[in-house]
Chain A
């Protein structure tokens, strides 16, 4: 356990000090500022504009950061050789993958917390009040980041960096579109295609983590729905983590 803790701390420091952390933070802050400014364009829809634009930026930049970090942690570590130094210490392959995953979630959580604090400050400045009940929004959206990051982590355990990045981006796109495609399937589509699309939609639907509509509309978001989303997210995370451990376990580090 101590090995996992130490390596998590080390990897987290490396991510936090990397150039991408500051860049993502600044880019996301700019989008949030823009969303705040844009929200004043519509008198009645200010809340909707704020959360639609703001969370879109939050998702896009955070998701991209998660994918790049997920790829960087393993694929780049293999490329620059730092994985050798780490695996030359008494840490098993599984512990190493788990530590990398934990450092990724920690770094993404830090990024998310900083953005939420910034968002709250801007809302207070514009007399929009406190986020309070809407904080669950950010929990769910951040969970979406974790899923993307762990997807990139999984690919990088057996592919090189560029391939892992490409595959992760493709899966991201697929995850965003699966629900839309499924919902817009014509009635006369063949059963096999419908089943395949339905299957993909059920296991890989990233729109599940997009609940910005609950802020911008008066739609109810119950505790049950929240727990269901968390369960879905955690089960994908666990699956990807286990798969990463399996693929990395017998891989030759060249």
Chain B
């Protein structure tokens, strides 16, 4: 049995635009594998082939070449019981209620449940996504954000081994995005694999383990985040504005030195690979009662300009 939950081997996808014209390749030679207990982010420009890749995995499209394996075996429709999918836009039948949609979905995905177990499962899920009081409302009467939450519920209610999320933050308010991140992070436990396609890199970078980049239908990168971006894997910087001699204070302390010290007059920027070390230094400076005019803690994994400069320019 393969250790990978999902493997794509030499996958190509071509479309025939015209009877007389040759095939046009949307995806070429995609080779990647996804482990359990991990979160992979798929990045790419519009039309790079992200959604096409998901559709191939879900069997909505058939590969022109290559094969897709799920837990070591060729992927069949029966394996979809262990796959959860959240599409880019809400694709829900408007005339069904929230509870009905979940009921039919759990009938497909969790055949073994009895009536009361199914009822409990649906209730718990609706409480989790805060839609219990809307359970009898028709989908067409709900807002887009509520629809996204239902899409998430449909993708995750059956506790799948593989979760595919296509732009999960689309249409959500900041509070909704925060909730979505928390739900995704929780799902990583228990040997689950999560694949996310998003343009909001700064949101998912803290929770992802692997980055896959598609460009014009080709996979140009598939690497662990910590190998690709070691300097921002878990970094924090402290920028201190002080008259004190920070370097001397650091030498006097018994703490591990910061990875980088940049002095610009009274402004000193300390970079740390470990967040805890930054907290220890801050505590040390406060214990020493040094005069701080200001300080700024900056999480580089959330720093958009930093990411765009160091990451996107090099890759995309």
Contact = CB atoms under 8 A, between A and B. Distances in A.
Interface of A: 2-3, 6-7, 9-10, 13-14, 17-18, 80-82, 84-85, 87-93, 250, 252-254
B104 A88 contact: no
Contact of B95 (A17, A93, A254): A17
A147 B128 CA distance: 46
Contact of B108 (A84, A90, A93, A252): A90
Contact of A81 (B77, B87, B108, B111): B87
Task: Determine chain A's interface SS by DSSP, over half rule.
Answer: helix
A3 B100 CA distance: 15
B93 A84 contact: no
A2 B95 contact: no
A84 B91 contact: yes
Given A13-B95, A91-B108, A84 B80 contact: no
Contact of B100 (A13, A81, A88, A92): A13
B54 to A, nearest CB: 10
Contact of A85 (B78, B83, B95, B154): B154
Interface in B297-315: none
10 nearest CB pairs, A to B: A81-B91, A89-B108, A253-B60, A17-B95, A6-B107, A90-B80, A88-B85, A90-B81, A10-B104, A252-B61
A7 B87 CA distance: 19
Contacts of A84: 55, 58, 60, 85, 87, 91
Contact of A90 (B62, B79, B95, B96): B79
Nearest to A9: B104
B59 A87 contact: yes
Contacts of A6: 104, 107-108
A7 B95 CA distance: 15
Centre residue among A84, A85, A93, A252 by max chain B CB count within 10 A: A85
A85 B60 contact: no
Nearest to A10: B104
Contacts of B15: 252
A250 B61 CA distance: 8
A6 B105 CA distance: 9
A253 B55 contact: yes
A112 B81 CA distance: 37
B89 interface: yes
Contacts of B96: 10, 13-14, 17
Contacts of B95: 13-14, 17-18
Nearest to A13: B96
A90 B92 contact: no
B214 interface: no
Centre residue among B78, B81, B107 by max chain A CB count within 10 A: B107
A85 B89 CA distance: 11
A81 B89 contact: yes
Interface in B43-97: 55, 58-62, 77-81, 83, 85, 87, 89, 91-93, 95-96
B109 interface: yes
Contacts of A93: 77
B58 A88 contact: yes
Contacts of B87: 81, 84-85
A12 B86 CA distance: 24
A2 B85 contact: no
A87 to B, nearest CB: 6
